[in-house]
């Protein structure tokens, strides 16, 4: 794939192909200014200004492009994405406007996961010019963060196991001068017993670990970002059916989100003391696998009865959230591909979000709407806490009824976050089953940009 930095370039008056943006209401007036041949060309292409449509118009020895958008006065994140994929390679300039937020979709539309494909001929880059040079670093950073999540989630589990996640942490630490502590082996078993229990059945090269990166001034407000890093989930002894296991390489999508968000925070130099924490495991099946009916200890001291070994993500997050709480953070955000219930409720386009604070929840929703990444808040009802009662331990890891599965999973996590801490939980899908312009099928970030824009507003200068 072309270097993302080359896809958006400063407009210095260089030669470029014009793009006229038109909505359906304005198409008739626009067409009146064209020659009969040009009108015929657009008619043949069935271009009428519908949002997302693209037309190529001959103009002497060259051509210009037309792009349908919903609103020509306000360009949204993905309104230019169809142009970025359907136009021939070349350098382009919007007529009478600047791309603004639509840069994000222009960039992400060029994404292609080709790590395992033999080289094939692809269309060259479509370069867009802009006069908004000062905004380019921010636009590019957000697109890079999105593409990082896609790359990490799309990579098969054999090449994206706990050790590979550790390598991603090492890259971040080196790039930003952060400190990294990796906990594994006996120290993990003692300090993070649920993480150890979930991951102990994996092959040695995929052994479980806690990855903990620290960055920023020690006098700054503490921000903790936690991500579920189940690099592959067989379901454990409560094994998943084949169809359910097919996409379980994406079960580390929460950690991918956390890594990408932390990179944005450090890259922008936000005034925070950052703690990035990811429990990295494979939920495998072998002799040492934990069992239904087992009672696990936890870092917090709570005991957990195992009703289902396929509800393992909340176990490792429980230990990680306990560790995050020990830093007395001003805010904890966790990301996890946690429940199918969230997908049933919201489908593939929204991240389910649970939050203790109405103010923080409202800020995230507002930031998400503005950035095309709106989360949807689900409740944490006190009345459902009883679904986690156990006859033999402090709590069970999976309810015995089919109701409110996403919220009940959130309530489980809530038990491991210290009272009084502002905490947000994203139950993210991390996967797009159907492509849309600028949003390829496969690994995808949900809630990442909403979180980033909220954090920038809250902790930025």
pLDDT tens-digit profile of 264-277?
999 999 999 999 99
Whether pLDDT at 1 is above 60: no
C-beta of residue 454 within 8 angstroms of C-beta of residue 364: yes
Dist. CA 294–CA 298, nearest whole Å: 13
Q: Which residue in the block uniquely carries the two structure tokens 């957000």? A: 142
Can you tell me the distance from the alpha carbon of 276 to that of 295, in angstroms, rounded to the nearest whole number?
28
The single-letter DSSP state of residue 439 is B
Q: Is the pLDDT of residue 120 over 70?
A: no
pLDDT in tens, 372-383: 999 999 999 999
d(Cα 353, Cα 346) in Å, to the nearest integer? Answer: 11
- Under the banding of pLDDT at 50, 70 and 90, the label for residue 119 is confident
Query: Residue 5: which pLDDT band, with cuts at 50, 70 and 90?
Result: confident
Return the pLDDT at 2.
67
Per-residue burial over 251-282, b = 16 or more CB atoms within 10 Å of its CB, e = otherwise: bbbbbbbbbbbbbbbbbbebebbbbbbbbbbb
- In the prediction, which pLDDT does 460 show? 87
- What is the average pLDDT value for the chain, to the nearest integer? 96
pTM score, whole prediction: 0.96
- What pLDDT score does 123 carry? 74
Give the max Cα distance, the chain: 81
pLDDT band at 238 (very low <50, low <70, confident <90, very high): very high
| Catalytic member of 299, 314, 343, 449 | 314
- Helix%, strand%, coil% for the chain, nearest 5: 40, 20, 40
* Confidence band of 172 (pLDDT split at 50, 70, 90): very high
Give yes or no for residue 121 having a pLDDT over 90.
Answer: no
What pLDDT digit, counting tens, does each position of 62-91 carry?
999 999 999 999 999 999 999 999 999 999
In the residue annotation, 314 being an active-site residue is answered as yes
Q: Report the b/e string of 347-359 with b at 16+ CB within 10 A.
A: eeebbbbbbbeee
Distance CA 445, CA 422 (A): 23
Handedness of CA 426, 430, 435, 437 (dihedral sign): positive
pLDDT at 363: 98
CB 222 within 8 A of CB 330: yes
* Average of per-residue pLDDT across 211-238: 98
Cβ proximity of 352 and 378 under 8 Å: yes
Cα–Cα distance measured from residue 373 to residue 272, given in angstroms and rounded to the nearest whole number: 23
**Dihedral-angle region of residue 96 (phi above 0 means left; psi in -120 to 50 means alpha; beta otherwise):** left
Which candidate in 24, 135, 170, 240 is catalytic? Answer: 240
Q: How far apart are CA 30 and CA 52, in angstroms?
A: 17
Q: Which two tokens stand for residue 380?
A: 């944490």
Residue 345 has pLDDT above 70, yes or no: yes
Q: Find the mean pLDDT for residues 338-351.
A: 94
Judge whether 174 counts as a catalytic residue.
no
More confident residue, 61 or 284: 284
Averaged over 108-130, what is the pLDDT? 87
């Amino acid at each position: 794939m072309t270097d993302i930095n080359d896809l958006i370039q400063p407009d210095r008056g260089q030669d470029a192909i014009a793009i006229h943006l038109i909505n359906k209401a304005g198409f008739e007036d626009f067409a009146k200014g064209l020659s009969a041949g040009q009108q015929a060309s657009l008619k043949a292409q069935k271009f009428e200004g519908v949002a997302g449509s693209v037309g190529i118009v001959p103009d002497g020895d060259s051509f210009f492009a037309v792009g349908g958008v919903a609103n020509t006065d306000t360009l949204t994140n993905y309104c230019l994405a169809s142009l970025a994929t359907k136009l021939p390679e070349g350098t382009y300039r919007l007529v009478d406007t600047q791309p603004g937020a639509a840069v994000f979709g222009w960039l992400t539309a060029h994404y292609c996961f080709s790590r395992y494909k033999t080289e094939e001929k692809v269309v060259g880059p479509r370069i867009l010019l802009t006069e908004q040079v000062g905004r380019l670093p921010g636009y590019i950073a957000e697109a890079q963060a999105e593409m990082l999540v896609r790359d990490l989630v799309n990579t098969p589990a054999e090449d994206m196991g706990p050790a590979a996640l550790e390598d991603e942490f090492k890259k971040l630490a080196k790039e930003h001068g952060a400190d990294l502590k990796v906990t594994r082996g006996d120290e993990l078993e003692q300090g993070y017993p649920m993480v150890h229990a979930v991951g102990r059945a994996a092959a040695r090269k995929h052994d479980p670990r806690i990855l903990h990166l620290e960055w920023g001034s020690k006098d700054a407000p503490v921000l903790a970002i936690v991500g579920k890093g189940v690099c592959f989930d067989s379901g454990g002894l409560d094994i998943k059916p084949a169809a359910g296991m097919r996409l379980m390489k994406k079960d580390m999508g929460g950690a991918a989100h956390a890594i990408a968000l932390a990179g944005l925070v450090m890259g922008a130099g936000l005034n925070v003391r950052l703690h990035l924490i990811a429990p990295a495991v494979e939920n495998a099946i072998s002799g040492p696998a934990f069992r239904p009916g087992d009672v696990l200890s936890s870092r917090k001291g709570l005991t957990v009865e195992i009703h289902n070994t396929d509800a393992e993500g909340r176990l490792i997050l429980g230990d990680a959230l306990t560790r995050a709480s020990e830093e007395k953070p001003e805010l904890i955000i966790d990301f996890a591909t946690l429940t199918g219930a969230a997908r049933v409720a919201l489908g593939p386009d929204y991240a389910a979000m649970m939050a203790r604070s109405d103010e923080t929840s409202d800020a995230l929703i507002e930031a998400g709407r503005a950035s095309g990444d709106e989360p949807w808040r689900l409740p944490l009802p006190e009345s459902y806490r009883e679904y986690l009662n156990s006859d033999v331990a402090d709590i069970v890891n999976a309810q015995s009824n089919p109701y409110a599965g996403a919220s009940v999973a959130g309530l489980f996590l809530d038990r491991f976050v210290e009272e009084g801490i502002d905490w947000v939980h994203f139950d993210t899908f991390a996967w797009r089953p159907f492509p849309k312009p600028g949003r390829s099928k496969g690994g995808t970030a949900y809630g990442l940009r909403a979180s980033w824009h909220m954090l920038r507003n809250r902790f930025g200068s």
